[in-house]
Amino acid sequence: MAKDYFSQWLGIKVLESGIGISKLSLVIRKEMLNGFGIAHGGITYCLADSALAFSCNSHGKKAVSVETSISHLVSLSEGDELIAEAKEEHCSNKIGTYSITVKRVSDNVLVALFKGTVYRTSKDW
């Protein structure tokens, strides 16, 4: 996290981090809005992708994301606080699959659903 400049810019907080799991939060700021005055879809993606990175790297071997998808369910506004929670669905020797939910804290509504596939290298980090 110390050298993770983008997560710092996003203002991501690590609420939980363990083997195959992670829980991160973020608050939508003005500079994260798009031209329609709602959060750029990339912001939710970035939070979910960071949750993916924290959980898939928890085994000690460096893992890289190869394919991810996100369903955007609800539009988000300035001030909304989000929590992303990652769950390892499967982990073989080389491939890992994760699902990440993103919820809005104020009403606990699911705002995005993310699925990620990573390739697990043999390099320690």
- What is the contact surface with a copy of itself in residues (CB under 8 A)? 1-9, 30-37, 40-43, 45-46, 49-50, 53, 62, 64-75, 89-90, 92, 94-95, 97, 99, 110, 113, 115, 117, 119, 125
Q: Closest approach of Cβ 101 to a copy of itself, in Å?
A: 9
Nearer CB in complex with a copy of itself: 3/108: 3
Is residue 56 within 8 A of residue 64, CB to CB? The reply is no
Nearer CB in complex with a copy of itself: 105/110: 110
Q: Closest approach of Cβ 3 to a copy of itself, in Å?
A: 5
Q: Closest approach of Cβ 110 to a copy of itself, in Å?
A: 6
* Residue 21 CA: distances (Å) to CA of 38, 40, 52: 29, 26, 8
How many angstroms separate the CA atoms of 117 and 88, rounded? 10
Nearer CB in complex with a copy of itself: 19/95: 95
Phi (first) and psi of residue 82, to 5 degrees: -120, 150
For residue 73, give every residue at least 6 positions away whose Cβ sits within 8 Å of its Cβ, in sequence order, or none.
110, 111, 112, 113
Q: Closest approach of Cβ 87 to a copy of itself, in Å?
A: 10
